[in-house]
């Protein structure tokens, strides 16, 4: 149960109820974070548009890479809902279960490409305050990614941090979207 309950369905604006019905068809239920973000309709709309911008087909970042980064940021922030949701998306994008299971210890695994390793290192550096992003890491990013891709990757990591921190702070539980249970040791 989240720390703040959702409003009753009829208290949300009509356009949000339409989106909620679409979520119910897609996921079998309305996603709890949507109900809570929906307490502030303008913020909910902006949040949704920003998410859609990161998930557009013309993104300079491959979908699987985006999902790997989002799951890792979710793990670092201990966001059970985000791990559930982003892991389900990652698996739908064709990443094998073994790679998802190796993600918390990606440095010790040979399942990740050089590009994925760099993106994951960047995600961890941005997400973990004690690490931070230094010039050496920025230089390696510039050698591997275009400037537009770096900006987008930075925005995606910041977005997922915001989402994960919101959900974790409000104790939003997983909704059973992923076929595997979250790892309690993350």
Compute the CA torsion angle 77, 58, 27, 16 (nearest 10 deg).
Answer: 90
Which pLDDT score is estimated for 183?
56
Which pLDDT score is estimated for 181?
52
CATH of domain 63-169: 1.20.1290.10
Give this prediction's pTM.
Answer: 0.93
Which pLDDT score is estimated for 182?
52
Q: What distance, in Å, lies between the first and last C-alpha atoms of the chain? A: 21
Which pLDDT score is estimated for 143?
98
Contact 126, 154 (CB under 8 A): yes
pLDDT in tens, 2-48: 999 999 999 999 999 999 999 999 999 999 999 999 999 999 999 99
Low-confidence ranges of the chain (pLDDT < 70): 180-186
């Amino acid at each position: 149960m989240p720390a703040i309950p959702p409003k009753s369905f009829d208290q949300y604006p009509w356009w949000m109820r339409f989106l909620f019905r679409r979520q119910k068809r897609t996921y079998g239920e309305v996603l709890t974070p949507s109900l809570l973000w929906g307490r502030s309709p303008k913020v909910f709309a902006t949040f949704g548009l920003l998410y859609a911008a990161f998930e557009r087909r013309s993104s300079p970042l491959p979908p699987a890479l985006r999902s790997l980064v989002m799951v890792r940021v979710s793990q670092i922030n201990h966001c059970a809902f985000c791990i559930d949701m982003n892991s389900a998306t990652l698996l739908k994008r064709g990443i094998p279960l073994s790679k998802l299971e190796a993600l918390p210890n990606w440095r010790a695994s040979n399942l990740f490409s050089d590009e994925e390793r760099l993106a994951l290192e960047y995600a961890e550096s941005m997400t973990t305050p004690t690490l931070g992003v230094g010039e050496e890491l920025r230089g390696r990013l510039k050698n591997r990614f275009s400037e537009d891709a770096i900006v987008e990757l930075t925005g995606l990591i910041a977005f997922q941090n915001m989402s994960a921190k919101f959900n974790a702070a409000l104790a939003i539980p997983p909704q059973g979207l992923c076929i595997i249970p979250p790892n309690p040791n993350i």
